Structure 1
Amino acid sequence: MTDALSGEGAGTPRAEGDPPIVLGITGASGAVYAARVLRALLLAGRRVDLIFTEYGLYLIKLELGLTAVSHGRLEPLRDHLDVPQTAWDRVRAFRNHDLAAEPASGSSRFAGVVICPCSMKNLAAVALGLSETLIQRAADVALKERRPLVVVPRETPLNLVHLENMLRLARAGGTLIPAMPAFYQAPRTFDDLGDFIAARVLEHLGIESDLVPRWSDVGPRGHKGERPQTPAHIPAAPRPEPGAASP
């Protein structure tokens, strides 16, 4: 990992290859989603510019049990993700208040921005064009440069202000992927649920993954084309008669 937190890495040349993805982690509950998105990006061979809000980092500590993590010490997160050091070396970390950092400029060559999880405060700021932090500015750059902006809001219930801000952001060109995982893939762990959201995020960044099986016209299929067996106590899904209305 290149340490840009103190500003020392902000001008460090990047290796040749695909432009990085900017990943902003904010203080909405759902650190597992952030962790699985980061892991998926690294295992897909992508470089990541990582930005935490203060409460985003707090939730990494609280929800993932990584109490030793700090802005200057992210090795526990690397170990939690179980990625090789060669993958972790593709990560740069920035302070959220550093508006002079590379992701703040439209001239920087990042491929897209992901905010996961995204608090309603940060969603509102991006929807209204505010750029008071590096995460918000990077999102604004993505919109103005017509690059992918993928936002994973995590809040419930939603009030009218939340919904209107989401609508405003969608109209501006952002993609909203709420932290609402499906269950057809028979998840067994929280990581499985996180991987479902990570797969959707990567797909909207144009990055291939095999994190979860896809749904076909006859139901879910495994990674190699085999159909998972339906447990005996669960009846097979009925096939509608031709011309019948959808349920």
Structure 2
Amino acid sequence: MDLPSAPQRIIVGISGASGAVYGVRLLQVLRECPGVQSHLVVSDAGWRTLRHELGMERPAVEALAHQAHDARNVGASIASGSFQCAGMVVAPCSMRTLASVAHGLSDNLLTRAADVVLKERRRLILMARETPLHLGHLRNMVSVTEMGAIVCPPMPAFYLRPQSVADIVDASVARVLDLLGLPHSLTQRWTGEEKSGSDSN
């Protein structure tokens, strides 16, 4: 008798940087991915940004995830390396959260979960949101990259000719899904630019 396959778990962290829509959209898409289970953790500043930018309160956001965890509960399942997951995305990732991950502070459940993902050699994707960047930001990005994380700032892909803010958001979320190895149909894939007969080398 075949045993049912375990769900593929993805941890989604939302920190206090601008761009809460990226985390929300990622949760919405993961909800529709067969065999995927999302685990959500939001920092205190993340809740404030969700309310300010999207007008979303805690119950509405937590309902998007399969399971939600309180950022103050460092004894939650996702704080342990024994929690099996395919990876974690921090969307968006504030410079404070980036610094905490870079220095292994584990000062709340979000940063502890990220630290665990790194130590277990799993995929950690940080959608870093800040501009301009000072040297400390850049050094922290180098540090987390050397530790195995992927710094993936949400950059608009204008070659896709987005028609709305939603299109721009979907393009960045699509890149994250690609990094997680999850199928999606959020955007069209680049197949090359067609050359006309008048083009010259």
- Residues 1:146 and 2:121 are matched in the alignment: yes
Match of 2:154 among 175, 179, 184: 179
Equivalent residue number for residue 111 of structure 2: 136
CA distance in 2, matches of 1:212, 1:204: 15
State the Cα distance separating 1:19 from its structure 2 match.
2.8
Identical counterparts, % of pairs: 41
Task: Tell me the number of residue pairs that the alignment of Structure 1 and Structure 2 aligns.
Answer: 196
CA distance in 1, matches of 2:199, 2:78: 50
Equivalent residue number for residue 203 of structure 1: 178
CA distance in 2, matches of 1:169, 1:117: 16
State the Cα distance separating 1:65 from its structure 2 match.
2.2
After superposition, where does 1:122-133 map in structure 2 within 5 Å?
A: 122-133=97-108
CA distance in 2, matches of 1:240, 1:117: 43
Q: Which has the larger radius of gyration?
A: 1
- Residues 1:94 and 2:80 are matched in the alignment: no
How large is the RMSD of aligned CA atoms in angstroms? 2.1
State the Cα distance separating 1:239 from its structure 2 match.
4.8
Report the CA distance shift for 1:33/1:168 in structure 2 as closer, same or farther (over 3 A).
same
Match of 2:46 among 53, 56, 76: 56
CA distance in 1, matches of 2:78, 2:129: 24
* Comparing 133-142 and 37-46, the one that deviates more: 37-46
Match of 1:105 among 80, 86, 103: 80
Equivalent residue number for residue 170 of structure 1: 145
Moved over 6 A (4+): none
| Higher helix proportion (structure 1 or 2) | 2
- Residues 1:24 and 2:13 are matched in the alignment: yes
Deviation string, structure 1 residues 151-190 (Cα, Å, up to 9, x no partner): 0000000000000100111111001110212112221222
TM-score normalised by the chain length of structure 1: 0.74
Give structure 1 stretches of 5+ with no counterpart: 1-14, 79-87, 220-235, 242-247
CA distance in 1, matches of 2:20, 2:200: 40
State the Cα distance separating 1:16 from its structure 2 match.
5.4
